[in-house]
Chain A
């Protein structure tokens, strides 16, 4: 590679076709910037997507891109990664694509620990099909298909991932440049299945659904940005902290200034802590952002090649294999 690439070099000439004001624009910018910052090689980078607004993403990134079918991106990306583990394979999906029609593939990609960087744009609604409730929509969400309010229990992407055995779970907000940028860099460096839930605002069908914790003026009190080895504090000047209550086995919010020693220190390898952090909801708790869980293990592709002793290279000949049994000669 000659000159270092900039974010612009990772943008295609395609006209971007999301609604004006859609959170996807901010995510696209953050991703192209992150790719440039980490020095990604465009020819060794692949974006695989399913179907939905989010899944248009590959058309706008100047790397290899494959816009596939609804829900199946993790399965297709698994084949891409197995065939060439040297590639950086990103999966772009949404709450409907990844957790409804494609829930099974997401589950298995995560539990196998396939080296996929999975960006799940969660806007709690089906945008491309004009606004029906999705598997992450909160109870009572009124949509054309749920005029009286939705009544099926929503799923939490992070908790789903943890239950599936994911070993990297992170969260970010679409318009939070530094927060999303840091998470994308961490994802890029990670080998194995990584799930990033990005809270993405759908300005047309579900505007401000995350307002309770994304609103700038109150953000300090409604968000907590977690960092491995750092105290779990939030609020103005880190005035509040999270404490583990052993009696209830729950987190509680405490005054960090008066009892700094009681504030938990974030341990990204602790799955139990990850579960507690992922479960926190506004307004009672701040919403956890950043790398919540990172506990590396051998990736699926590494195990695959370890178990395919010849690394998919041909060391034998078919002519010999054909005779690897009892044979007889007719004269």
Chain B
């Protein structure tokens, strides 16, 4: 596992994604974690401007970006200072010596050069003057000093690719394409890449740097690609449109970390996807509702603060019984909080966060590739039940990448839209609210359809005729109807599976969303030596799968690790009456496998585990 770190202007994210492209082509499994500051270009050399990209690669199933990197490439003292605490003893630390000047050290807040204080004694320190070597390598191309300096990320990438036994072809091809119209920049970067690679090979470093060739992973047969969460989500929405044979209009307002989805979808016009960048979050959700009203699949997206603004309009879509997909790329909060750091703290908002009794189905994606599946599911539910659907992802998923078995589109059932029942004697208003008995979804009647003109809105309507009604019994009936509609989603979704372990036992580790990888690995490792531990990861958070209560009742204890203060835990207590043990982390960083193992082992180790769930199951 390695981690690149430098100034946010150093090209660290680019270097990381290129390393991943090469890793993917080499056939190794990988998972990534871009970790960048909220400021686009924070002052150079400062600790708060440090951007990092972590890659976990190898042959086993890799589901997280890893706990402690074995290799850190630090472009400056600040990057070293911020990232050193993440390393284990013995890790390889590559530092760019050119930046270890008095000024560079001072900016990072070092009183003394850490290379001289003994604080790096426990690590394998490799000092390379990356800047000078890069400038030398690109000298023939006549770039300005600053342009030449910018090639240093490719120099370092070349060295890392050598270290991990990968070749340069993929990166070279990418550079050829990227700088097709800029000969000097292209050639300089290729030269820097080769120079870094050659540097690794030279005798003088061979002893210091172990070559950490990543072995080929054991994958199921099939065609693979690398994918980021935002890419898979965009493709999943396009796939849903294709399956429903409807265009899709994505209406959004820029916000971190949700914007990559907007960018991805803007390039999918040929798949029947339109993108509208609205004036604000409210306009984004409202225009999506307008699009749905007109027969196009309306989708809006944001992060927590933006979703909060959309709340009233989501209520309108509930009341008017219109389909809508609301995607929330969660981030640390409250308020502006930690815009670029990940958190799972909008589950309450999705499930409970509206005025009045206003239930909506809620789904969460667990990995970059899973975003594709969940996007299709969200649209399917929205169109079947004619309801807004929440899709929760997070900053980690949006940007993380993994190898992905390319889905077979032929394996997905078409998405049905509710047709209009032919009842000649019924008026258009009641026809528009003639709901399907199983899903309670009404027909999707849209402007342009002759003879079916009707009026909808946010005022309470008569349960049968769809006309405005202030009748008290009717409101009671409609409130029940809205609840029953969302509850009926459970009749259409699969039973909750178990990802690791048996269907009953001592401890069930229950999670949702992007913690999947860490929980899966932690439980898998424990299961090698311990019996009775299982991992269960929930995609359908509202309503829960029908079997979830019975499944969890088969365990002595239910542990819920979450990157929040216990929101799924609350939901499990509320909906299933379960007692659960919480494990919560809100540092803005994903779970580490080790910290999960430690916590779960402690629980397993407790003598005579008390049965939390009441009732005799002997």
Contact = CB atoms under 8 A, between A and B. Distances in A.
A, B bound? yes
Interface of A: 12, 14, 42-46, 48, 58-59, 62-69, 72, 75-84, 86-87, 104-105, 107-108, 304, 308-310, 312-319, 321-323, 325-331
A59 B457 CA distance: 9
Contacts, number: 210
What does DSSP make chain B's interface, helix, strand, loop or mixed?
A: mixed
A44 B446 CA distance: 10
B535 to A, nearest CB: 25
Contact of A75 (B224, B247, B272, B278): B278
Contacts of B449: 43
A319 B412 CA distance: 12
Interface string B203-237: 00000000000000001111111100000000100
Contact of B295 (A12, A84, A316): A84
A14 B461 CA distance: 14
A69 B313 contact: yes
A42 B222 CA distance: 53
Contact of B286 (A46, A79, A312, A330): A79
A312 B287 contact: no
A65 B447 CA distance: 9
B291 A82 contact: yes
Contact of B456 (A66, A86, A105, A327): A66
A328 B291 contact: no
A23 B450 CA distance: 31
Contacts of A83: 247, 249, 290-291, 293-296, 298
A83 B223 CA distance: 36
B447 A46 contact: yes
B279 A43 contact: no
Contact of A66 (B24, B312, B457): B457
Interface in B264-303: 268-274, 276, 278-280, 282-283, 286-296, 298
Nearest to A72: B286
Contact of B226 (A105, A108, A325): A325
Given A65-B455, A67-B455, A80-B291, A310 B269 contact: yes
B271 A62 contact: no
A308 B266 CA distance: 9
Given A75-B287, A312-B296, A322-B225, A65 B456 contact: yes
B225 A68 contact: no
B452 interface: yes
Contact of B223 (A72, A86, A308, A327): A327
A308 B226 CA distance: 27
B163 interface: no
Interface stretch (B238-246, B574-582, B605-613): B238-246
Nearest to B288: A79
A323 B448 contact: no
Contacts of B286: 68-69, 72, 75-76, 78-79, 105
Contact of A326 (B21, B272, B276, B454): B21
B312 A69 contact: yes
B447 A44 contact: yes
B448 A68 contact: no
A323 B409 CA distance: 12
Contacts of A59: 455, 457, 468
Contact of A328 (B24, B269, B283, B452): B24
B251 interface: yes
Contacts of A330: 27, 219-224
Given A72-B286, A80-B447, A319 B276 contact: no
A304 B274 contact: yes
B276 A82 contact: yes
Contacts of B548: none
Determine the interface band of chain B, counting residues with CB < 8 A from chain A: 35 or more
A236 B283 CA distance: 48
Contact of A321 (B223, B238, B320): B238
Contacts of A315: 270
Interface in B244-268: 247, 249, 251, 268
B436 interface: no
A308 B274 contact: yes
What does DSSP make chain A's interface, helix, strand, loop or mixed?
A: mixed
B334 interface: no
Contacts of B273: 312
Given A44-B448, A82-B249, A318 B238 contact: yes
B540 to A, nearest CB: 23
B177 to A, nearest CB: 12
A223 B119 CA distance: 85
A326 B25 contact: yes
B109 interface: no
Contact of A42 (B249, B283, B406, B453): B453
Contacts of A67: 455-459
Contacts of A327: 223-225, 406
B118 interface: no
B448 A43 contact: yes
A79 B451 contact: no
Given A69-B316, A326-B24, A313 B447 contact: no
B170 interface: yes
A326 B298 CA distance: 31
A326 B247 contact: no
Nearest to B283: A75
B60 interface: no
A202 B100 CA distance: 75
Contacts of A104: 279-280, 283
B407 interface: yes
Name the residue among B21, B295, B315, B406 with the largest chain A CB count within 10 angstroms.
Answer: B406
Nearest to A313: B272
A313 B247 contact: yes
Contacts of A326: 21, 24-25, 170, 225-226
Interface in B306-339: 312-313, 315-316, 320
Given A68-B286, A79-B249, 4 more contacts: A62-B453, A64-B454, A104-B279, A108-B279
A87 B294 contact: yes
A76 B293 contact: yes
Given A66-B456, A72-B283, A318-B409, A79 B221 contact: no
A62 B283 CA distance: 27
Contacts of B455: 12, 58-59, 64-67
Contacts of B282: 72, 75, 105
Contacts of B293: 66, 76, 79-80, 83
Contacts of B226: 325-326
Nearest to B316: A69
Contacts of B24: 326, 328
B409 A309 contact: no
A329 B448 contact: no
Given A43-B447, A328-B27, A78 B270 contact: no
B242 A317 contact: yes
A64 B221 CA distance: 52
Contacts of A69: 286, 312-313, 315-316, 458
A328 B224 contact: yes
Contacts of A72: 282-283, 286, 313
B270 to A, nearest CB: 4
A314 B242 contact: yes
B453 A43 contact: yes
Nearest to B240: A318
Interface in B8-45: 21, 24-25, 27
Contacts of A78: 276, 278, 283, 286-287, 290
B409 A105 contact: no
B272 to A, nearest CB: 4
A322 B270 contact: no
Given A62-B453, A66-B456, A67-B456, A87 B447 contact: yes
Contact of A310 (B224, B272, B287, B288): B272
B223 to A, nearest CB: 5
Interface string B570-598: 00000000000000000000000000000
Contact of A331 (B221, B279, B453): B221
